[in-house]
Amino acid sequence: MWSGSLAAILRRLAAAARDLAPIILVIALFQGLVIRQPFPDLAGVVVGLACVVLGLALFIQGLELGLFPLGEAIARSFVKKGSAAALLAFAFCLGFGTTVAEPALVAVGEKAAEVASEAGFIADSENARSAYAFQLRLVVALSVGAAIVLGVLRILKGWPLHHLIIGGYLLVTLMTLFAPAEIIGVAYDSGGVTTSTITVPLVTALGVGLASSIKGRNPMLDGFGLIAFASLSPMIFVLAYGIVL
């Protein structure tokens, strides 16, 4: 197991270095041509890049060894057990649990609280801001939980994805008309920040695993789409929060 992993990691290292090449190129190009100033700390940059390459290689290797097989194994055992209720409860917990502690979301919540207090939306105090940020995080986490539930239900029932997503787009459009202008930017951005690097592989493997172990489902048609729900529903929930508040 170890030696096999080691050889694979070496191969991954080469791939990771190739993945990072565009970033290095862009920075070198703009630094040299446009900004024309020497690098502030070249040694630190080189060490940092080496860490990024190594980290990316280890991450991908771990994905193939751990997260993908686990997501699919769990999907298979839920299908064998045959309890839709247990599966949906799991889907909600996975969506809610992974989002509520998501660092990117914490950061956006704090920013949003600043915007809201600047706009006179909430009181200009530390307490009001942190309460607002916390509520927003809860709202987004609830919305992701609901999204994964809906997404799993779609896989079970075989509903076509684009009907639901286009419906969601129309809902976002409609709600934008009624939502206060200050919340719109935050709401639109909240869709992108909910799906973290560890949640995405796990949720993708769950969807593909479900679609390939349920009869009559196609993994390509039905397995993907959970992430799409998880990035659309926070927009709807945050807009609703803005309208209600």
Partner 1 sequence: MEFLKALLDTGFGTLFDVLPIVVVLFLFQAAVLRRSVPNPGRIALGFVLVLLGLALFLVGLEEALFPIGETMAVQLAAGAIEDAAGGAVRWDHYLTVYAFAAAVGFATTVAEPALIAVSLKAEEVSGGAIGARGLRVAVATGVAAGVALGCVRIVTGTPLPWYIMAAYAVVIAQTFRASRTIIPLAYDSGGVTTSTVTVPVLAALGLGLAASVPGRSPLIDGFGLIAFASVFPIISVLGYAMAISAIARLRGPKKDRTKE
Report if residue 200 touches partner 1, rule: CB under 8 A: yes
Per CB under 8 A, contacts with partner 1 among 136-195 are 161-162, 165-166, 169, 172-173, 176, 181-182, 184-186, 188-189, 191-195
Residue choice 69, 125, 178, 180 for contact with partner 1 (CB under 8 A):
69
Report if residue 84 touches partner 1, rule: CB under 8 A: no
Residue choice 13, 88, 110, 115 for contact with partner 1 (CB under 8 A):
115
Q: Is the dihedral of CA 135, 104, 88, 74 positive or negative?
A: negative
Specify the residue, 76 or 135, whose C-beta has the smaller distance to partner 1.
76
Distances (CA, A) of 115 to 118, 123, 129, 138, 203: 5, 11, 10, 18, 32
Inter-residue contact 132 to 113 (CB < 8 Å)? yes
Residue choice 10, 14, 84, 97 for contact with partner 1 (CB under 8 A):
97
Per CB under 8 A, contacts with partner 1 among 47-66 are 47-66
Specify the residue, 83 or 130, whose C-beta has the smaller distance to partner 1.
83
Q: Which residues contact 182 (CB under 8 A, 6 or more apart)?
A: 115, 116, 119, 121, 242
* Termini Cα distance of the chain: 55
